[in-house]
Amino acid sequence: MTVTRRWVVRLLWILGALVLGFVIYAWRSPIAPVDPPAAGTFDMATIQRGAQLAALGDCATCHTASGGETFAGGRAVATPFGTIYSTNITPDPSSGIGRWSQEAFQRAMREGVNRAGDHLYPAFPYDHFTLVDDRDNAALYAFIMTRQPVQGRTPDNQLSFPLNMRFIIAGWKLFFLRKGPYEQDSNHNAEWNRGAYLANGIGHCGACHTPRNSLGAEIRSQHFGGGEAEGWHAYAINADSRALEAWKAEDLHMYLSNGWHDRHGDAHGPMAAVSQNLSSVPDADVKAIASYVATVIGNQPREKIRPEGASGNDTGAAIYAAACASCHDGSRPLPFGGVKLMLSTAVTGESATNLINVVLEGLRPPEGTTGAIMPGFSSTLTDGQLESLVAYIRSNLGSQLPWTDIESSVREARSRTHD
């Protein structure tokens, strides 16, 4: 053997050992199946607390396909890496999690590993759920295990090699998963800690509101700095918040539990389901979240910038006067009148996406409720008209520097609403 060949062989050995080491590192043992817990195993108070935690965690929102049975899974979660389907978490013994012990359930929540020992994709936000404490996990387990079992397989994930190999996720976790449960921060009082525990844990607010790096992990140094969610922009809810009137704890409390605030507007896109879920949890929990988030946002006054030449957009002005003003500047009482748009972060915020989405799709009240309604304009406005309107609203009503990505945002929003 030549010297170089010998080195190549040695390198291959080292590489092989590294791969083997990683595979061993990634390995998790299966947890033995159990018989589904008998009726009467859990007390009512525990089940009830579990229901509230499930609402805080949006479990049903993600684990129910549109038109499908609650918790039976099959909802597509789009990621930059491919599509991951939520699983059936009803207590069905064959296709659901009916044969999972509480230990197996808690391991999934805390470490993102299923009963068989496979790593789960962080599309299941266990990087937040890891903070949930043992007691709350037990309550969640009691609630889930007492739901109606539904038999039904969910579609296979659409991920390409090598991401379709689950042991790879162990590498992701090594860098990005900080295992819980939550630890109290003694610099803050009990309510703040309660809020941080709920918001960053079961509530997983950062899953949408924190920007992600190229590997899909939240950037911790930009906690709540604004992120993307299902074609919508989840605004910054830290010191970078661009809301014209700084959010206070009372405002957040009202907005989160009613999905609406008279000086901020309403929750739409994926936030509509979040606030809908929060409306069913105890007020003390929402209050704690609100007071925690208010401290993250802080209370600095917003700057109003009136850009030069803001009025020179006749097309936008004319469309606004004809199509929008009657509701948004009229005397129709709130909530049906529509807020003054200068108060909405859709207008003052960091991205044009939500304003464009709302104008195209309009706003329907959530299923089973009555609420504010605005018509959609997707068939009445051309792309060019929509761009002029959005630019007009931004500079004249929002008094902000122009967005630079209006054209591409309109194109993206159109392609989404067409498929």
Q: Residues 6 or more apart from 190 whose CB is under 8 A from it?
A: none
Residue 389 CB, shortest distance to ligand HEC, in Å, is 6
Q: Yes or no: say if 366 and 250 are a contact pair by the CB < 8 Å rule.
A: no
Residue 59 CB, shortest distance to ligand HEC, in Å, is 3
Please state, in angstroms and rounded to a whole number, the distance separating the CA atoms of residues 71 and 104: 18
Please state, in angstroms and rounded to a whole number, the distance separating the CA atoms of residues 106 and 87: 16
Residue 375 CB, shortest distance to ligand HEC, in Å, is 6
Our CB check for ligand HEC shows the closer of 20 and 151 to be 151
Please state, in angstroms and rounded to a whole number, the distance separating the CA atoms of residues 189 and 186: 7
Residue 18 CB, shortest distance to ligand HEC, in Å, is 25
Residue 321 CB, shortest distance to ligand HEC, in Å, is 10
What crossing angle do the helices spanning 190-200 and 283-297 adopt, rounded to 10°?
90
SS3 of residue 386 by DSSP = helix
Report which DSSP code applies to 341: G
Residue type, 391: A
**Closest chain position to ligand HEC (CB):** 265
Q: Residues 6 or more apart from 312 whose CB is under 8 A from it?
A: none
Our CB check for ligand HEC shows the closer of 306 and 332 to be 332
Our CB check for ligand HEC shows the closer of 9 and 144 to be 144
Our CB check for ligand HEC shows the closer of 5 and 368 to be 368
Residue 198 CB, shortest distance to ligand HEC, in Å, is 7
Question: Could you tell me which of 118, 2, 139, 167 has the C-alpha nearest to residue 59?
Answer: 139
Our CB check for ligand HEC shows the closer of 376 and 407 to be 376
Concatenating the DSSP letter of every residue in 1-19 gives --HHHHHHHHHHHHHHHHH
Our CB check for ligand HEC shows the closer of 47 and 359 to be 359
Residue 306 CB, shortest distance to ligand HEC, in Å, is 20
Q: In three state form, how does the secondary structure of 102-148 look?
A: HHHHHHHHHHCECCCCCECCCCCCHHHHCCCCHHHHHHHHHHHHCCC
Question: Could you tell me which of 87, 194, 181, 95 has the C-alpha nearest to residue 138?
Answer: 181
What crossing angle do the helices spanning 134-145 and 44-56 adopt, rounded to 10°?
100
Our CB check for ligand HEC shows the closer of 237 and 406 to be 237
Please state, in angstroms and rounded to a whole number, the distance separating the CA atoms of residues 335 and 58: 25
Residue 157 CB, shortest distance to ligand HEC, in Å, is 6
Residue 1 CB, shortest distance to ligand HEC, in Å, is 45
Structure tokens at 345: 């972060």
Our CB check for ligand HEC shows the closer of 170 and 372 to be 372
Residue type, 104: A
188-202 burial, b at 16+ Cβ within 10 Å, e below that, comes to eeeebbbbbbbbbbb
Our CB check for ligand HEC shows the closer of 14 and 245 to be 245
Please state, in angstroms and rounded to a whole number, the distance separating the CA atoms of residues 263 and 243: 10
Beta strands in 44-113 (DSSP E): 76-79, 82-85
Our CB check for ligand HEC shows the closer of 17 and 116 to be 116
Residue 361 CB, shortest distance to ligand HEC, in Å, is 11
